[in-house]
Amino acid sequence: MMTVWTLRVFLVLALMMPGIANAGAIDDAQIFFGRYAALEKAFDPAMADLYSEEAYIKNTRYYPDGQSKEMVIKGIDYKRLVRAALPIAKARGDSNIYSDVVYTEENGAVRIRAIRFSELKKYESPISLLVMAGHDGKYRIYEEISESRP
């Protein structure tokens, strides 16, 4: 028979579990984003594997004349684009530095928001990634919302 004390312990542990799960997801997302930034910095084509084929990618490009153009692409196509663009980016020295990184739990996934600084073009822009574990347990990007300049 359970004592009142044992029941209280179970209740406290049950109430703590969502926080523990959230902390675990945030920790996993931090590790994932570190890998993302490292692969990008190394111009490693394995970076493309961090995207889900079902991912939603949206980039808004802002031009000096005030106009903007929005590009929306599916993950499977974006993965091909990343693999093709990385050698060009490497040849140009086109890398990024991330700052002000914030992680928030969002419906079982983690939203990563950061400021991206283009070392080549010398501008800052926001980026938002929605990451979560797939059926295989590996974290992948399911949404990327970003801005860029020519």
pLDDT in tens, the chain (150 residues): 444 333 343 333 333 334 434 568 999 999 999 999 999 999 999 999 999 999 999 999 999 999 999 999 999 999 999 999 999 999 999 999 999 999 999 999 999 999 999 999 999 999 999 999 988 989 999 999 999 999
Per-residue pLDDT, 22: 54
DSSP state of 94: -
Give the integer Cα–Cα distance in Å for 90 and 112. 25
Listed residue (67, 76, 59) closest to 128, CA to CA: 59
Question: pLDDT, tens digit, for every residue of 87-115?
Answer: 999 999 999 999 999 999 999 999 999 99
Per-residue pLDDT, 53: 96
Whole-model pTM: value is 0.82
Listed residue (98, 93, 99, 111) closest to 37, CA to CA: 98
Place of tokens 């010398």: 122
Q: What is the CATH number of domain 4-148?
A: 3.10.450.50
Query: What residue segments make up the domains of the chain, in order of their start?
Result: 4-148
H/E stretch holding 77: helix 75-92
